[in-house]
Every structure is written in C-alpha cells, then in structure tokens.
Amino acid sequence: MSSAIGIVGTGSYVPETVVSNEEIAAGAGVTADWILTKTGIGQRHRAADHQATSDLAAEAARRALQQAGVRADQLAFVVVATSTPDHPQPATASLVQNLIGARRAAAFDINAVCSGFVYALAVGSQMLRGGTDQQAPYGLVIGADIYSRILDYTDRKTAILFGDGAGAVVLGPVPAGLGVVETALVGRGDQHELIGVSAGGSRNPASARTVAEGEHFFRMDGRGVRGFVQEVLPEAVSGLLGRAGLPGEQVKHFVPHQANGVMLGEVWPQLGLPNAKMHLTVDQHANTGAASVGITLDAIHRAGRLHRGDLVMLAGFGGGMNIGAALLRWAVELPQAAADGEAAEQSAGKVLVGAGV
C-alpha cells in the first residue's frame, strides 16, 4: 500500500428540520437579529425524536463511502468523534459499524469535543500508515453530534449556537506527494472548566437532584472560550506550518470548526494565511460540534472548490480545552459532471479571502 494517506471521499448529513433564529430567540431572551449579529448564525438543523447520533453518523458515512467508491467491508476501522454519544457505552462507532455493515472494521469513539474530527483524522491517518489488511485498506472518520439534546434553551450563551449534524471522510492510499502532510494536536487541560456538562459521569452521577438543578445541560464560559481561541488558534496554525516546513502563503483553503462566525472573522486576520480562503457554513448549520469541519469540507468539495494538489488546512478547537490542526494536499477532484451544481455551491457557504498577519 502507498505510504501516502489522504481523503478519498467525503459525506455529510444534517437533519431535515430547520430551526430559525426566531424560534430560538424568545426562550433565550434575545432577538433573531441579535443572534445573527453576534454569531453569524441564521438557522440550524435539529434531529428528529427518533434519531440518535449514530443515525446521523451512519448516513454521513454512507454518502462518503458512495462518493469514494469504497465498500463498507473494505474498512479497517470506523472512528466516531462525538461528545453526544448515543449512550455512555458501547461506543457510538460500534452502532455505526453495524448500521453500515462494516464487518471487518475496528470501531471506537474519540471525545475531544469540537476538535474531535481533526483528532480522529490524525489518529486514523497514522493507523493506515502503520499498515492494514490489504483487503481492508481504508478507514472511516466521522464527526457527529446532537447538541439539541443537551441544551438549556433559556441560556443564551449556548442555546443560540448549536445545531445537529454529521460529517465523514474516507481515508485511503493516495499518490505520493498528496494526502495528509502533517497534524498537530494540543491540549490545555488547565482550562477544562470553560466548557462542559457537569453531571452524568463518575464524579457527579445523574440523579433527580442533578436534573432538577440543570447539571445535565451543556454550559460554556463564552468570554473565556473566545479568549482561548484568539490566543491558541494562531499559535496552532503557526506551529503546524513550522512542523510541515511550509509557509502560510501556500495554504489555499482554511476549514475551521464553525464555532461562531463573528469570532472566526475576528481571529482570521491573525492567522497569517494571506492567499487562503476561509470557508464558513455556520450561517446555515450553526455550531455542529465535532461534525462542523467534516460538514464544511464535504460542502466545499461537492461544490468543486477543492482541486487536486491544493494545500488545505483544517482546524478544530473546543472543550478540554483541545485544539487540533491538519494540513492536506488535496488528492481527489470531483469530475465536473459529478459536482452537485448550483445547489452544492449555495450549501458550500461563505468565503473570507486573504487573512493578514
């Protein structure tokens, strides 16, 4: 097998139900315009009552496998990045493995919250580089979350920000010089209290008291998170480029975690990527947790915005606090006939061009 490993297919899925800012605003004590102005979010998608994280993940996986032309029995592993699993155990990846029929595949979850997709990509690419069964030379990486199940809709710090969805990529052998160039994963556990769900684990088991006091809801120190991103994201981008021995001028596409469109716009000039396009789908899907990088990557790929050989940077950041970044030489260009046309271009979202220093 080629020692070069890259993305050979992408897929994503968002639930059918669309929730507008107007529907969220009243309960959170804000206006729809306030949400748009503060976050850049116009709407989000919400999972149906019968859907769990594994269902969203499996649908994104099927779409990625179809695009890649890879069968489920050719997968060496299924990795699901999520912080909203179906249940504490077994791993959500085990359910996905069963749903898609990946009988040969190992299956496990990664919980690095919103940076999870990039963490899973880094782990998966290294696993394939280490060698696999020749009958199963591919790997499946999925980011999936249903945050609508853990939100307090009276808390404006969190209720306005999140949507549900899943993004997936198939990893496999690509020609030399293409694929995953370098990855960098960093943890800042000293700031772990900025984001979290305090109840439901071994330290604070679920009980009538924890439910009554709302400790099963997601909570976030928004100001602290913004400060973390403004400090650590430029460092992560610079550090990754240094490890790869590449100048920022060569990066053509930047796909960040879609945390908050306004915040990303503020930090964008600090990243030193003057020739890059930053791709944003947060206006359509809001913050989909570990799914957001994968959803955005799939959207721009299907719209034909990525070309073979383009240098693409992915960056995820979130609870823990964790940050993950990856550099890829894009390996698979969709034929023009395979692109999804005008609808795909519209779903590919907004672009910010040319970050300064």
pLDDT in tens, 124-155: 999 999 775 677 899 999 999 999 999 999 99
> Using CA atoms, how far apart are residues 343 and 312, in angstroms rounded to an integer?
23
pLDDT in tens, 210-269: 999 999 999 999 999 999 999 999 999 999 999 999 999 999 999 999 999 999 999 999
- 323 to 54, 116, 117, 139, 264: CA distances (angstroms): 24, 9, 11, 22, 15
pLDDT, residue 350, reads 79
Domain 180-353 classified CATH 3.40.140.10? no
Q: Within the chain, which residue ranges are assigned CATH 3.40.47.10?
A: 5-177, 180-353
Catalytic positions are 114, 257, 287
Q: Over range 196-215, report the average pLDDT.
A: 93
Q: Over range 46-53, report the average pLDDT.
A: 98
In 3D space, the residue among 219, 166, 178 whose CA is nearest the CA of residue 47 turns out to be 166
Mean of the per-residue pLDDT values for the chain? 93
CATH architecture of 5-177: 3-Layer(aba) Sandwich (3.40)
Phi, psi of 109, rounded to the nearest 5 degrees: -100, 155
pLDDT, residue 357, reads 44
In 3D space, the residue among 59, 273, 249 whose CA is nearest the CA of residue 164 turns out to be 59
Q: Is 255 helix (H, G, I), strand (E, B) or coil?
A: strand
In 3D space, the residue among 235, 240, 97 whose CA is nearest the CA of residue 180 turns out to be 240
Q: Is the pLDDT confidence value at 1 over 50?
A: no
